Structure 1
Amino acid sequence: MDTKKLVALVVVVFLGFWMFTDPSGLADTSKAAASSGWDLTTKAFNGVIDFVGAMD
């Protein structure tokens, strides 16, 4: 079995176990991760906009 497939399988099993044992904890963690990802994306695009604007 490929290493990537094995790692993906372990992650899926872990997330499934977490979902059944502590669904509210998984939801809170997912919400926090999504919020952090959105903040990072926003900062990256603002940086690109500032950079392109400064080239004038």
Structure 2
Amino acid sequence: MDGKKLIGVVAIVFLGFWMFTDPSGLATTAKTVGGGAWALATQLFTGIIDFVGAL
């Protein structure tokens, strides 16, 4: 089995196990990660807009 496929399968099994054992913890973590990713994307695009505007 390919290494990338094995890592993917292990990640899916881990997330499935986490979902059944602690669904509220998984939801909280997903919300936190999603919020952080949105903040980083917003900061990135604001920086790009400021840079292009300064040209």
Q: How many residues align?
A: 55
What residue is the counterpart of 2:13 in the other structure? 13
What residue is the counterpart of 1:33 in the other structure? 33
Q: 1:6-49 CA distances to partner (integer Å, 9 max, x unpaired)? A: 00000000000000000000000000000000000000000000
- Cα RMSD of the aligned pairs, angstroms, is 0.3
Q: Structure 1: which 5+ runs fail to align?
A: none
> Which of structure 1's runs of 4+ aligned residues deviate more than 6 A?
none
What residue is the counterpart of 2:44 in the other structure? 44
- The TM-score, its normalising length taken from structure 1, stands at 0.97
